[in-house]
Amino acid sequence: MSTSGLKAPMKRRALIGASALTAMALALAPVSAGAQDGERDSIRIGYAVPLTGPNATGAGITTIPNYKLWVHDVNADGGIELSALGKTLPVEVIEYDDRSSTEEAVRAIERLATQDNVDFILPTWGTGPNLATGPTFDRFGYPQLAATAVTDLAGEMANRWDKSFWMLGGGYDYAVALVDLLSEQRDAGTINNKVAVISVADGFGIDLSKAALPAFEAAGFEVVYEQSYPLGTSDFAPIINEVSGLGADTFVAFSYPPGTFALTQQSVVSGFNPKVFYLGVGTAFPVYPNIAGENVEGVMGIGGVDPDSEAIKDYFERHTEVTGNPPDSWASAVTYASLQMLQQAIERVGDVDRDAVAKELSTGTFDTILGEVKLVDNQLRSLWTVGQWQDGQFVGLAHTEREGARDPIIPKPEFKPAE
Amino acid sequence: MLLSALLTGLVLGGTYALIAMGLTLQYGVARIMNLAYGDFMIAAAFGAFVLFTSLGINPLLGMIAVIPAGFALSYAIYGVMLQPLARRAKHSGRLEVDSILATFGLLFVIQGVALVIFGANFVSYSYLAIPINILGTTLAANRVLALVLALALGAGLYYALTHTRWGTAIRAVAVSPQAAPLVGIDVDRVSRFAFALGGALAASGGVVVSMYLTFSATAGVVFTMKALVVVIMGGVGNLLGALAAGLILGIVETLVATYIDTGLTLAATYLIFLAILVFRPSGLFGRRPS
């Protein structure tokens, strides 16, 4: 083969490469120009969420459907109004899979901030990942609306990263609310003063049991059983068999799905019928009534929604219609409300100025599906803490700022095993 | 109390054994370290779920469809994806590394397909969640079924492996893939069959487990890990070893949870695992390397 024969295709390849680069540059040009001057035609919102890996289930129930629903709602309305630019722009989404890894989430957020030049970044799912990505949000100056992080460190974090907002309270809030509710019931003579407490040996279970055990003892309860179990435990027969012989009217499990579901099934099969049956994360999931069947009535758990709120009712219907599934009855509504707050803050500022939007988020009052919301020290302190399945709804029994929506049903109806 | 704990443990061990038997065939005979094993089980679980909830076919009958499907799919996957690796590998170490990488990719393919079809939600249905009383201990019928099935499959396959011609061929390939061709055994074909048989066992495990465990598209890795521990404990490629190791694990976990601390079940599992690795590196029933 001659050398000229070699050169020709090389030249052609170089030409193709050059033209491809030019085409890319041309394609990129309007976007980067648009991001700088007034010719923008969308508000770019990015997020990295676990689409695969162990966190995909949680994110797939609580976080991602609400992001999709919100974008759908905003764009169906014509977009977000930016008065400084004199126009209303639709939301454009850039989505990444963080594969349930915080390292990947951090990298994706860096990419969204530096390569994609998005206007706002929505947070990932879960307590740990939100704490881990906090410094990155802070470094690039993006507001972080952590709607699925339960942490007693919320106040400290809000001080450290002034554009971070913590929307789901801390373990202490939930544990103390539960103990208060149970104390009232005991004082009324509905339940005895023996409680059995188990917790998953993971962030959530440790936080809640650490707060609840001293609170139970301070309230004069006798903790007759207290054990933690490893994450991933699938067989709860030994625990349930032992607890059922201890005479405790109250069974509290600071559990995590799918353990929450396995505990329910095991209790039904073993005929374990405490007067109060309280479970952790997963009780408020829409799948829970399918798993528990008719035994769902009276099961208590973390979270809850206001069953008398028209806004919540409407939200449940729209969520089901747009995403195909109903929302969960704890963090879903909070997630959607956090996005409504973001939209209202942007509209009040009238621009995508992140500093001004963050300031508005921490000082403004917002009209959301949770009602009127105003953050205290960058935290949402108006929370449903204890819920119970009543008539097919996971209703709020205790709230941090107002009376509960419903009275608890105690004792809960007896579990009936399948025939 | 002790009897009750033993029975509960035996039933839990049945699940572990059932999960592990397919992997021990795939790893021990075909020498494919199948990281997508758990996802295969999840796929079968989804199959049973769909048959049960949309067509009303009970999971036991559903097995008649799901198990052959598991066999056929594994057979196809081996032919398309793994046979080329096996042919090209000069020694079994090479094949192990290649198969780990290939099945790691397969894991994400299965998971991705399941996520697209079923979403990320938890999936659960209830079948045979009936309390039954055995010697004064209340057990869930579906979990007892897992134990019975594990024992039946374990015993049946063990008999077939030791008393039939193709069973002997499978054992020959497991013992020495280099020497097997010398006596006229087609190693390719036997490996492929063993891999598919493992897939069928995974499918049966998936169906049974779906009756009492809540699962999701991304839950497969949990089963792979558990199966791997049981397989290595029992001795790679040894069905009876997987059965015994599974039952031992179940009993130990339950005894530890009942008498010591529920928080130490995992620690106990890995303590035994470690002890076996130290004192019997080739597993309870494994052959010592010659």
Q: Nearest-CA distance from A358 to chain B in Å?
A: 32
CB atoms under 10 Å from CB of A298, counted, come to 19
- Strands A194-200 and A250-254 turn out to be parallel
Query: Are the beta carbons of A233 and B111 separated by less than 8 Å?
Result: no
Q: Which two tokens stand for residue B78?
A: 């081996």
pLDDT of residue B96: 87
Give the pLDDT confidence of A309-323 residue by residue, as tens digits.
999 999 999 999 999
pLDDT score, position B191:
93
> Do residue B129 and residue A242 have CB atoms under 8 angstroms apart?
no
User: What are A163-218's pLDDT values in tens digits?
Assistant: 999 999 999 999 999 999 999 999 999 999 999 999 999 888 998 999 999 999 99
Same fold, A43-169+309-374 and A171-307+384-399: yes
The answer to whether residue B103 neighbours chain A at the CB level (below 8 Å) is: no
Q: Are B119 and A293 within 8 A, CB to CB?
A: no
Whether the CB-CB separation of B173 and B13 falls below 8 Å is answered with: no
Q: Which of B121, B257, B262 minimises the CB distance to A60?
A: B121
B176 contacts chain A (CB < 8 A): no
Distance CA A163, CA B272 (A): 49
Contacts of A283 in chain B (CB under 8 A): none
Across the interface, which of A237, A261, A269 has its CB nearest the CB of B122?
A261
CATH architecture of the region A43-169+309-374: 3-Layer(aba) Sandwich (3.40)
A248: left (phi over 0), alpha (psi -120 to 50) or beta: beta
> For residue B102, what pLDDT band results from cuts at 50, 70 and 90?
very high
**Is the minimum CB–CB distance between A126 and chain B shorter than 8 Å?**
no
Q: What is the pLDDT of residue A164?
A: 97
pLDDT of residue A26: 42
Q: Which of A269, A270, A283, A295 to mutate to test the interface with B (most CBs of B within 10 A)?
A: A269
Structural domain span for residue B80: 2-279
Q: Is residue B290 part of a domain?
A: no
Nearest residue on chain B to A323, alpha-carbon basis: B119
Q: To 10 degrees, what angle do helices B265-279 and B239-255 make?
A: 140
Contact B169, B190 (CB under 8 A): yes
* Chain A residues whose beta carbon lies within 8 Å of the beta carbon of residue B129: 265, 268-269, 417-418
What are the beta bridge partners of residue B235? none
CA nearest to A58, candidates B262, B288, B52, B121: B121
DSSP string, A68-91: HHHHHHHHHTT-EEETTTTEEE-E
Asked if A56 lies within 8 A of B217 by C-beta distance, the reply is: yes
Q: Does B118 touch chain A (CB under 8 A)?
A: no
Give every CB contact of residue B178 below 8 A, 6+ residues apart in sequence: none
Contact: B123, A230; criterion CB under 8 Å: no
Residue A273: other Cβ atoms inside 10 A: 17
CA-based nearest distance B288→chain A, Å: 33
Question: How many domains are there within chain B?
Answer: 1
In this structure, what DSSP letter does residue A249 have? S
**Option in A54, A291, A324 nearest B218 (CB):** A54
| Residue A98 to residue A414: CA distance in whole angstroms | 43
Half-sphere exposure of A87 (CA within 13 A, CB side): 10
Please state the ipTM of this predicted complex. Answer: 0.87
> Left if phi > 0, otherwise alpha if psi is -120 to 50, otherwise beta: which for B41?
alpha
CA angle A64, A67, A72 (to 5 degrees): 125
How far does the CA of residue B200 sit from the closest CA of chain A (Å)? 23
CATH number at residue B30: 1.10.3470
| pLDDT tens, N- to C-terminus, chain A (419 residues) | 344 444 444 444 444 444 444 444 444 444 443 444 457 899 999 999 999 888 999 999 999 999 999 999 999 999 999 999 999 999 999 999 999 999 999 999 999 999 999 999 999 999 999 999 999 999 999 999 999 999 999 999 999 999 999 999 999 999 999 999 999 999 999 999 999 999 999 888 998 999 999 999 999 999 999 999 998 898 999 999 999 999 999 999 999 998 999 999 999 999 999 999 999 999 999 999 989 999 999 999 999 999 999 999 999 999 999 999 999 999 999 999 999 999 999 999 999 999 999 999 999 999 999 999 999 999 999 999 999 999 999 999 999 988 888 999 999 999 998 77
Q: Is A263 on the interface with B (CB under 8 A)?
A: no
B53 occurs within a structural domain: yes
Residue of chain B minimizing CA distance to A52: B218
Contact of B214 with chain A, judged by CB distance below 8 Å, is answered with: yes
First to last CA, chain A: 82
Q: Does B204 touch chain A (CB under 8 A)?
A: no
Per-residue pLDDT reduced to its tens digit, B19-51: 999 999 999 898 999 999 999 999 999 999 999
Cα–Cα distances (Å) from A73 to A66, A128, A311, in that order, read 10, 29, 14
In a domain, B239, yes or no: yes
Q: Do A291 and B214 count as a contact with CB atoms less than 8 A apart?
A: yes
- How close, in Å, is residue A81 to chain B by CA atoms? 33
- State the pTM of this model: 0.87
Chain B CB contacts of A227 under 8 Å are: 261-263
List beta partners, residue A373.
A366
E-only strand ranges, A60-206: 80-82, 87-89, 91-97, 120-122, 144-146, 164-166, 194-200
CB A133 within 8 A of CB A49: no
B74 three-state secondary structure: helix
CATH for the stretch A171-307+384-399? 3.40.50.2300
What does the alpha-carbon distance between residue A71 and residue A42 come to, in Å, rounded to a whole number?
12
Q: Which residue of B1, B125, B218 is the best one to mutate when testing the A interface, meaning the one whose CB has the most A CBs within 10 A?
A: B218
Interface of B with A in 15-54 (CB under 8 A): 15
Which residue type, as a one-letter code, is found at position A110? E
What is the model's pLDDT at position B289? 53
* Other residues' Cβ atoms within 10 Å of the Cβ of residue A339: 22
State the best of A206, A227, A234 to mutate against chain B, taking most chain B CBs within 10 Å. Answer: A234
Check residue A277 and give its pLDDT.
Answer: 98
Among B107, B138, B252, B253, which would you mutate to test the A interface (most chain A Cβ atoms within 10 Å of its Cβ)? B138
- Domain membership flag for residue B285: no
- A67 part of contact set with chain B, CB < 8 Å: no
Q: Where are chain A's structural domains?
A: 43-169+309-374, 171-307+384-399
What is the model's pLDDT at position B288?
A: 57
From chain A, the residues in CB contact with B45 under 8 A are: none
**CB contacts, 8 Å: B122 with chain A:** 57, 61, 257-258, 261, 282, 285, 287, 291
d(CA A199, CA B259): 18
Distance between CA atoms of residues B286 and A352, nearest Å: 66
Token pair, residue A319, equals 């969520």
The reply to whether B113 touches chain A by the CB within 8 Å rule is no
For strand A164-166 and strand A144-146, is the pairing parallel, antiparallel, or unpaired?
parallel
| Close Cβ partners of A316 (under 8 Å, ≥ 6 residues apart) | A326, A327
> Does residue A153 belong to the interface with chain B, where contact is any CB pair within 8 Å?
no
Q: How far is B213 from chain A (nearest CA, A)?
A: 7
